[in-house]
Structure 1
Amino acid sequence: MLLQPIAPESDDRVEHKTAVLNGCSYHYLYGVPPGGQFKATVFLIHGWPDLSLGWRYQIAMLLDEGFRVVAPDLMGFGGTDAPKVPPNSINLYSVKRASDDIAELAKIVGARTIILGGHDWGGWVVWRAAQRYPELISHVFSVCTPYSPPREEYLSTEDLVKALPQFAYQLHLASGEVEKSVKDEQSIRQFLQGMYGGKGPNGEVVFDPNQGVFVEHLPLIGEGGLLHGKVLDYYVKEYSRHGIHSTLNWYRTGKANWEEDLALLDKKTISIPSLFIGATHDSVLKPEMSKNMQAFMPQLTKKEVPASHWALTHKPEEVNSIIKAWLEQQGFGTKSSL
């Protein structure tokens, strides 16, 4: 049975907390099972254009299964700081910085080891964090985002698109054009509705992987899709804090991420227990992109759900079932505390 997802506000299962991590303030959701005892600590890392609350169904399941849960808003998102670039370095939005901040947050909550899960950009973060912090991360899983090893040679987004045309949207998101139209509460609301499946009266969509965001369709987008009601209101409020520009900095980090990945060229193998959950109908991160992962992950489990990219909320019961079964296989099936 699917548990009631975590409510955006006033849910006694979680606290909204803040912590300063390497000089920047982060907002995160924090939950401990009733009674205060837990098997292990699970960190959950969201993607774009999402928030920590994107894990609301998984947080509910993990707490019910006896895990402590920590889910931060990434840099530039929600209640976390959104440093302006320039004058600040784009490296504040890099995957290495996110990995370092996860490690710092683990110290703050007193976790010697963590299980680390990610989705979308969060999936990219968790694979790299597992390479950078093998002593901290005992298990790692990703929904939708396959593992790709660090590269010796730089591959620009333009070159990536030549091989994988469905990544062309990243060029549009990095261009600075999208935030010119998604700039107030109403346009943010319509943008979020559209990104999560809402359409216009004649089937107009907001997003196409091969092109980007159709800003001209924003005024046409109404209720519908996976984001609605109080959860939509919460997302709109959180995205209105900084605007959308800071979240798009993640798509401007290609060169910075490659440069920082050079330190990982001799750490391409992730030897800890790993889980990848592909989404059959993901139009960007297609499941077949994961076909070579086993070569780098001797303890990899691969599964797939009949879902869109928003598998966490589109097919939460299926995703939760896979994560739960995998954790049980890793020895977390009995009630105990760490």
Structure 2
Amino acid sequence: MVLNSINPAGDPRVGHYNANLNGKNYHYLLATPPRAFRATIFLIHGWPDISMGWRYQIPSLLQAGYRVVCPDIMGFGGTDAPPVAPPPSNEGIEYYSFKRAAEDIKELARQLGCSEIILGGHDWGGAIVYKVALWFPELVTHLFSVCTPHRAPTKTYIPLEAMVSKLPNFGYQLQLASGAVEEHIKTKVQIKQFLNGLYGGKGPNGEVGFDVRKGVLFENLPILRKSALMDEEVLECYAEEYYRNGIGGTLCWYRNQEVNFQDELQLTKKTIDIPVLFIQATKDEALPPAMSEGMEEYVTNMTRKSVPTSHWALWEAPEQVNGMVKEWLEKVDHSKSSL
């Protein structure tokens, strides 16, 4: 192992906590430097991930003097997974909206005594941190996103089907939103095979478990060899967390386009003007580099970096990612250590 990452089976550098945020239980990791900290950084994960997805980044940020908070977002890990009614009702889908995520992050920051925070995100977490900065600009002083470019709010609703017709690399989202994945992936063994496939496990003849245009390739999952990105202990931890509430809640994030659109019509601020670091993964098939073109129109103080990895840059190139984040923070974060 390249870095001394957080051990999911138990690690003295992090504590596991729960908080009631706007009526729902959230689980989060908290890591605090031994003496004083410069500022508090919230790290927001995506799919299919959990708070432990930041296991390589937490020690680096601790060493740099930051207090680190990593929540499981709604539907994941130890956080509540509110049920959602089937279409056309979809009652409850608002729990998985960007606005709700922003409100819950703000409330957790308040409970931890933070009037300001730094945000970092990956995958859905990357999308969330941009939205927090738009909903609560007074809360966020800086943010960084790994892999996920910013998509500015629009005045016209674009259904997922129409989006996929222009962005075929989003084809997998149609499957994830359809309900098919929950029907196929139920047992803990199936969840482990599913996660292994999403993290790049391959079969004896190069078979894969996931295609960005199609989604999960269920028939291939049982024959895939173990992904190099996770050892058995970490994979077991992830599988246990996903088995807790099933994977249905985690997929609700792919069903909330209309709720997010309606919410964002209320936004008065359209640009993000705080310092932003965007780290592009150049081999990311789901979020290819072309998707970040033109971001500067809406993210006015942006630093661009890149790493030659797939979507799992946090694990494939942790030293590079950590180095980029720390170098950027040294330039833009002028907060002083406080107790």
In the other structure, the counterpart of 1:43 is: 42
Residue 84 of structure 2 aligns with an amino acid whose one-letter code is V
Q: 2:281 aligns with which of 279, 282, 285?
A: 279
In the other structure, the counterpart of 2:205 is: 202
**Deviation per CA, 1:135-157, whole angstroms, max 9, x where unpaired?**
11111111111011100000111
Q: TM-score, normalized by length of structure 2?
A: 0.96
Residue 93 of structure 1 contacts residue 249 of structure 1 at CA under 8 Å; is this kept in 2? Answer: yes
Take 1:262 and 1:297, find their aligned partners in 2: how far apart are those partners?
A: 18
Kindly tell me: are residues 324 and 282 of structure 1, through their superposed partners in 2, closer, same or farther at Cα, counting changes over 3 Å?
A: same
Aligned-pair CA distance for 1:3: 3.7
**Deviation per CA, 1:260-301, whole angstroms, max 9, x where unpaired?**
11112x311101111111000000111221121111222111
Take 1:38 and 1:119, find their aligned partners in 2: how far apart are those partners?
A: 23
Take 1:60 and 1:96, find their aligned partners in 2: how far apart are those partners?
A: 30
Take 1:195 and 1:33, find their aligned partners in 2: how far apart are those partners?
A: 33
Q: Say if 2:118 is the partner of 1:115.
A: yes
Aligned-pair CA distance for 1:112: 1.2
Take 1:6 and 1:169, find their aligned partners in 2: how far apart are those partners?
A: 31
In the other structure, the counterpart of 2:240 is: 237
Residue 193 of structure 1 contacts residue 228 of structure 1 at CA under 8 Å; is this kept in 2? Answer: no
Q: 1:91 aligns with which of 90, 94, 99?
A: 94
Take 2:300 and 2:188, find their aligned partners in 1: how far apart are those partners?
A: 47
Take 1:211 and 1:277, find their aligned partners in 2: how far apart are those partners?
A: 26
Residue 144 of structure 1 contacts residue 309 of structure 1 at CA under 8 Å; is this kept in 2? Answer: yes
Residue 193 of structure 1 contacts residue 225 of structure 1 at CA under 8 Å; is this kept in 2? Answer: no
Take 1:257 and 1:296, find their aligned partners in 2: how far apart are those partners?
A: 18
Take 1:56 and 1:11, find their aligned partners in 2: how far apart are those partners?
A: 10
Residue 143 of structure 1 contacts residue 276 of structure 1 at CA under 8 Å; is this kept in 2? Answer: yes
Report matched runs for 1:99-248 at 5 Å: 99-248=102-251
Please list every run of 5 or more consecutive structure 1 residues that lacks an aligned counterpart in the other structure.
Answer: none
In the other structure, the counterpart of 2:17 is: 17
Moved beyond 6 Å, runs of 4+: none
In the other structure, the counterpart of 1:336 is: 337
Greater Cα shift, 13-22 or 192-201: 192-201
Greater Cα shift, 222-231 or 211-220: 222-231
In the other structure, the counterpart of 2:75 is: 76
Aligned-pair CA distance for 1:58: 0.8
Q: What secondary structure is seen at the aligned counterpart in 2 of 1:107? A: helix
Residue 55 of structure 1 contacts residue 312 of structure 1 at CA under 8 Å; is this kept in 2? Answer: yes
In the other structure, the counterpart of 2:59 is: 60
Aligned-pair CA distance for 1:221: 2.0
Aligned-pair CA distance for 1:88: 4.7
Take 2:296 and 2:338, find their aligned partners in 1: how far apart are those partners?
A: 32
Take 2:152 and 2:81, find their aligned partners in 1: how far apart are those partners?
A: 28
Greater Cα shift, 79-88 or 93-102: 79-88
Take 1:327 and 1:9, find their aligned partners in 2: how far apart are those partners?
A: 30
**Deviation per CA, 1:199-248, whole angstroms, max 9, x where unpaired?**
12222111000011111112112322312221111001100101111100
Take 1:180 and 1:257, find their aligned partners in 2: how far apart are those partners?
A: 26
Residue 190 of structure 1 contacts residue 222 of structure 1 at CA under 8 Å; is this kept in 2? Answer: no
Q: What secondary structure is seen at the aligned counterpart in 2 of 1:263? A: coil
**Deviation per CA, 1:54-104, whole angstroms, max 9, x where unpaired?**
011111100111100000001000000011112851000111111110000
Q: What secondary structure is seen at the aligned counterpart in 2 of 1:112? A: coil
Aligned-pair CA distance for 1:335: 6.8
In the other structure, the counterpart of 1:28 is: 28
Residue 277 of structure 1 contacts residue 303 of structure 1 at CA under 8 Å; is this kept in 2? Answer: yes
Residue 271 of structure 2 aligns with an amino acid whose one-letter code is T
Residue 192 of structure 1 contacts residue 227 of structure 1 at CA under 8 Å; is this kept in 2? Answer: no
**Deviation per CA, 1:178-216, whole angstroms, max 9, x where unpaired?**
111111010000011111011122221110000111111
Q: TM-score, normalized by length of structure 1?
A: 0.96
Report matched runs for 1:281-300 at 5 Å: 281-300=283-302
Q: What secondary structure is seen at the aligned counterpart in 1 of 2:192? A: helix
Aligned-pair CA distance for 1:2: 5.5
Kindly tell me: are residues 271 and 329 of structure 1, through their superposed partners in 2, closer, same or farther at Cα, counting changes over 3 Å?
A: same
Take 1:224 and 1:121, find their aligned partners in 2: how far apart are those partners?
A: 22
Q: What secondary structure is seen at the aligned counterpart in 2 of 1:18? A: strand
Count of aligned positions: 335
Please list every run of 5 or more consecutive structure 2 residues that lacks an aligned counterpart in the other structure.
Answer: none
